A and B are shown apart, each in its own frame.
Chain A
Amino acid sequence: GQQLNQSPQSMFIQEGEDVSMNCTSSSIFNTWLWYKQDPGEGPVLLIALYKAGELTSNGRLTAQFGITRKDSFLNISASIPSDVGIYFCAGQEDGGSQGNLIFGKGTKLSVKP
């Protein structure tokens, strides 16, 4: 089935640094979502993107829906210790089932104070 390629797999950064991660697919998506998951919890939606080229911010987080509709990135500016967690991209394939989100394998973020 369709897979999302998410990179990097993990990141170790210093507090205050900016972070960038991205996701690519082999087919066209009509929705891109970015989630954060803390240990033992479910994913929490950070940003939702619905149009090609869309750039959306949520506090220190910014995400973009790639113009080709096959990629998306998430940036975190001025990271803080509570940004630690696993970040997942997810999307809905164009023409796919409305209920079926496809997830990347996640980017594990570690922040050193």
Chain B
Amino acid sequence: NAGVMQNPRHLVRRRGQEARLRCSPMKGHSHVYWYRQLPEEGLKFMVYLQKENIIDESGMPKERFSAEFPKEGPSILRIQQVVRGDSAAYFCASSRRQGSGYTFGSGTRLTVV
């Protein structure tokens, strides 16, 4: 009964490269949420997706960031042309129903050098 799986756990990218973060929700969960956490801070909402649909992307930066949750396969958070300020822990959560019973993954720690 695997939980929310995120990979990689750690990702190092040079400025200007692309970062792709993956999230496989818990079995039976069709709602996925992405959050970003800076050091010494709480989590900040980025985007909420259901299969093949973006429901709420109000927390996503307007440029360079995109997310998808295809019919088959994991949800992907993609950051193009990364900058130092993108360095953070990115957490994915999933739920069976909208807005309830969130389970978080262990996160991907992105470091931009």
Cβ of B46 to closest chain A Cβ, rounded Å: 10
Kindly identify which residue among A4, A88, A98, A102 contacts B98, using a CB–CB cutoff of 8 Å. Answer: A98
By the criterion CB–CB under 8 Å, are A97 and B104 in contact? no
A-B contact count (CB 8 A): 64
In the complex, A82 has a CB within 8 A of chain B: no
By the criterion CB–CB under 8 Å, are B58 and A100 in contact? yes
By the criterion CB–CB under 8 Å, are B42 and A104 in contact? yes
Kindly identify which residue among B40, B41, B45, B103 contacts A99, using a CB–CB cutoff of 8 Å. Answer: B45
Q: List, in ascending order, chain B residues with CB within 8 A of A31's CB.
A: 99
Q: List, in ascending order, chain A residues with CB within 8 A of B102's CB.
A: 33, 45, 101
By the criterion CB–CB under 8 Å, are B48 and A97 in contact? yes
Chain B residue at minimal CB-CB distance from A100:
B45
Separation of A61 and B57 alpha carbons in the complex (Å): 34
Q: List, in ascending order, chain B residues with CB within 8 A of A6's CB.
A: 42
Most chain-B Cβ atoms within 10 A of its Cβ — which of A35, A45, A101? A101
Cβ of A105 to closest chain B Cβ, rounded Å: 5
In the complex, A103 has a CB within 8 A of chain B: yes
Question: Is the interface on chain A under 10, 10 to 19, 20 to 34, or 35 or more residues?
Answer: 20 to 34
Question: Is the interface on chain B under 10, 10 to 19, 20 to 34, or 35 or more residues?
Answer: 20 to 34
Cβ of A52 to closest chain B Cβ, rounded Å: 17
Cβ of B54 to closest chain A Cβ, rounded Å: 10
In the complex, A42 has a CB within 8 A of chain B: yes
Interface flags for B37-57 (1: CB within 8 Å of A; 0: not) read 000111111001000000110
In the complex, B91 has a CB within 8 A of chain A: yes
In the complex, A44 has a CB within 8 A of chain B: yes
By the criterion CB–CB under 8 Å, are B58 and A43 in contact? no
Kindly identify which residue among A45, A100, A103, A106 contacts B103, using a CB–CB cutoff of 8 Å. Answer: A45
Chain A residue at minimal CB-CB distance from B43:
A103
By the criterion CB–CB under 8 Å, are B59 and A40 in contact? no
Separation of A106 and B93 alpha carbons in the complex (Å): 18
Q: A42-B104, A45-B103 are in contact. Are A99 and B42 (CB under 8 A)?
A: no
